[in-house]
Amino acid sequence: MEQFLNRREAGKELARKLSKYADRLDVIVLALPRGGVPVGYEVALALKASLDVFLVRKLGLPGREELALGAIASGGIQILNQDIVQALGIHASTISSIIERELQELKRREESYRGSRPAPQIKDRTVIVVDDGLATGASMRAAVAGLRAQSPMRIIVAVPVATPQAIEIIRSKVDEIVSVISPDPFEGVGKWYDDFSQTTDEEVRSLLADIHRKLPNE
């Protein structure tokens, strides 16, 4: 099964599967920070499309942060995994405190990444939402819900790697889903990258600034 060198190389491979969206004025690529930005950068560059970020924060259980209780997204969208919440008997006050903490981080990141630039206009556009992979799909579900509220013409979810289960969950909520590979067993997104080191805030800002220089009229 194919393995990607890093997120940038994965983005180049993903872009080849999205070539029909190249050179279209209605297309915008929205990357989920932080790991989705290097992938989205290469997709946007290849398609000659606008690139921006769409903020989503996973709601991790304290002490077991890898366990996603759900996710929040820009625009006040909240998605909860009720099966996990009920199975673990997690109190509403605990969930509220987790949401409040992640809302503060989401706001911080929006200000850090976008600065004074306004959020992009989504209405009536073809939106390609990019991340570095889909495991549970919770973050992507929150992103899609947030974008739907802004009335885009089409939503395409595009990732280098995804579980078959996540693909099925997301497929019913979007116009198209594109994945380079869909391994089973999956064993985590990072397994499919030689280099899966954490993307930094500085790298996100640098890539966004760079593509605005390269595609000044996007």
Predicted TM-score (pTM) of the model is 0.87
Q: Is 70 left (phi over 0), alpha (psi -120 to 50) or beta?
A: left
State whether CATH 3.40.50.2020 applies to domain 7-55+120-214. yes
Query: Residue 14 has which token pair?
Result: 């993903």
Domains of the chain, by residue range, sit at 7-55+120-214, 58-112
> Residue-wise pLDDT tens for the chain (218 aa)?
679 999 999 999 999 999 999 999 999 999 999 999 999 999 999 999 999 999 988 888 888 776 778 888 887 788 888 888 888 888 889 899 999 999 999 989 888 998 888 888 899 999 999 999 999 888 898 899 889 988 999 999 999 999 999 999 999 999 999 999 999 999 899 999 999 999 999 999 999 999 989 886 55
Nearest 5°: the CA angle 139, 29, 172 is: 50
DSSP code, position 117: P
